[in-house]
Amino acid sequence: MSDFDYDLFVIGGGSGGVRAARVAAGETGAKVGLAEMDRYGGTCVIRGCVPKKLMVFASEYAGMPAEARSYGWDVADGVFDWTAFRGKLDAELDRLEGVYRKLLSGSGVDSFDARARLKDAHTVELSTGEVKTAKHILIASGGRPVRPDMPNADLGMVSDDLFHMERLPKSILIIGGGYIACEFACILHGLGVEVTQYYRGAQILRGFDEEARGLIADAMKERGIDLHTGTNIVEMQRACDADKELEAAPVEAMQYGGDDHVGPSDGAIRVKATNGKIREFDAVLFATGRAPNTADMGLEEAGVTLGRGGAIEVDEYSQSKVPSVYAIGDVTNRVNLTPVAIREGMAFVETVFKGNPTLVDHELIPSAVFTQPEMGTIGLTEEAAAEQEEIEVYCTSFRPMQTAFADKPDRVLMKLIVSKASRKVLGCHIVAPGAGEMIQLAGIAIKMGATKEDFDRTVAVHPTMSEEMVTMRNPTRTA
């Protein structure tokens, strides 16, 4: 008989934790417990990928009536109903959470709706007062969006808050230039919100291919997003509070004149930027980073090492410095993508419960940014590839048939980075409608080590945007 209550106790009911728990219980017969302090499904299902993608779909309908009219359809512009959409969105998230709970119970996993923290290397203490022991503990507590350390930061929202808005703001300032900031800038603009975006860097989407992110920035501006790079906020406060201060010192009011001051409106937030401009917005969204959920979990006291930003340090098998404690997903801050967390969870079960040491390959992972247009990417950027070896760049940018016929300015980008020595495709970057779907398939070939000549031998599907991936015969440039 085991000396522990469980063979495995999982902290976190997101995609990675749930997969590991149910596979360990269902396929190996392990006795498994799992604690989740919030909703089952985690960031991806409840406050990330899934609701965000549904909002992307909703936002894309904004331009369809005008495009349809270009194709001869008598279609009138409509009005977006946030209340109706949010009601259906909430119902879908409830359904998905129910699926996750059912998967756990169906596999024989004991679920606890409670916050868990480590008491020692084999003991978990729940917020309900219960104490559980386990031979192995898997931490899959994920991450959370963070606010900057500045006065009145609580006036701004973070990405989690967007899914709970009672109504859409008329105007919003989004602070940040990463994929979350850019995706929500496009989403909210498509839903009819006046969107302004500040990013302190020289160009949005840092870390992605320079040419691709430049095209997306241009497209966002073309659509009407007021994007300001090299810009950050200095201070923020409620407009009504600021006005009271101005009344006490009326001379200061001079700085608010002209086009630099927008407003006022009830409950507006007044923001001063590094460029000196002062504006008011109905809402402010901070999309300036995420942090692992490791605070007050008793980890360091139990001997678990935390790295930069509070991430749990693990080896290639997801094992921490404490042999009985493992961690997967965003809490380790390796590759923060849901499919990666799921693979890490599966590899953990193979390694620990099936006696089959299994590594997760974190190289050449395809990903997508759901801006408008989308970006799909895998492998090295042109800049990174050129630093390591001589390369050829095959690239084309054009207006696709569908948008050109409708006389829209939207352009797409197809780009391959090729090693001169091996001829292998080192990177692929697509900016186009449906780029996320395209990069999944291109990713298979690139993961297999396809060469540029393999792409060339593939017959094109005509007429499509993606045929350009196999018809670019001559390099655009070398580096």
DSSP per residue over 62-73, as a string?
GGHHHHHHHTT-
Q: CA 133 to CA 140: how far, in whole Å?
A: 17
Q: Is 330 part of any known ligand binding site?
A: yes
**Helix ranges restricted to H, 164-304:** 179-190, 210-223, 239-248
CATH topology of domain 6-144+292-354: FAD/NAD(P)-binding domain (3.50.50)
The per-residue pLDDT for 56 is 98
147-245+260-288 and 367-478 agree in CATH topology: no
**Cis bond upstream, residue 323 (ω within 30):** no
Residue 261 has pLDDT above 80, yes or no: no
CATH topology of domain 367-478: Enolase-like; domain 1 (3.30.390)
Q: Is 221 part of any known ligand binding site?
A: no
Q: Which of these, 5, 282, 36, 228, lies nearest to 142 by C-alpha position? A: 36
Q: Is 289 part of any known ligand binding site?
A: yes
Judge whether 128 and 112 are in contact, CB under 8 Å: yes
What are the structure tokens assigned to 407, written together?
């006389």
What is the number of alpha carbons within 13 Å of residue 56 lying toward its C-beta?
19
| 462: annotated active-site residue | yes
How confident is the model over 364-398, as pLDDT tens digits?
A: 999 999 999 999 999 999 999 999 999 999 999 99
Q: Exactly one of 122, 228, 429, 462 is catalytic; which is it?
A: 462
Question: Would you tell me how many other CB atoms lie within 10 Å of the CB of residue 227?
Answer: 20
What are the structure tokens assigned to 268, written together?
């507006």
Average of pLDDT values for 42-66? Answer: 97
Q: CA 186 to CA 193: how far, in whole Å?
A: 10
Tell me the whole-structure pTM to 2 decimals. Answer: 0.94
CATH topology of domain 147-245+260-288: FAD/NAD(P)-binding domain (3.50.50)
Q: CA 198 to CA 201: how far, in whole Å?
A: 9
Residue 240 has pLDDT above 90, yes or no: no
Query: What backbone torsions phi and psi does residue 447 show, to the nearest 5 degrees?
Result: -65, -30
The per-residue pLDDT for 241 is 75
Q: What angle do helix axes 179-190 and 49-60 make, rounded to 10 degrees?
A: 40
Residues 6 or more apart from 109 whose CB is under 8 A from it?
21, 22, 25, 32, 33, 34
Judge whether 106 and 255 are in contact, CB under 8 Å: no
Average of pLDDT values for 223-228? Answer: 98
Q: Is 180 part of any known ligand binding site?
A: yes
Judge whether 191 and 79 are in contact, CB under 8 Å: no
Average of pLDDT values for 62-83? Answer: 96
Residue-range domain boundaries for the chain = 6-144+292-354, 147-245+260-288, 367-478
Q: Is 44 part of any known ligand binding site?
A: no
Q: CA 440 to CA 376: how far, in whole Å?
A: 8
Q: Which helix (H) or strand (E) holds 440?
A: helix 435-447
Kindly indicate the confidence band of residue 267, based on its pLDDT and cuts at 50, 70 and 90. confident
Q: CA 23 to CA 109: how far, in whole Å?
A: 10
How confident is the model over 101-121, as pLDDT tens digits?
A: 999 999 999 999 999 999 999
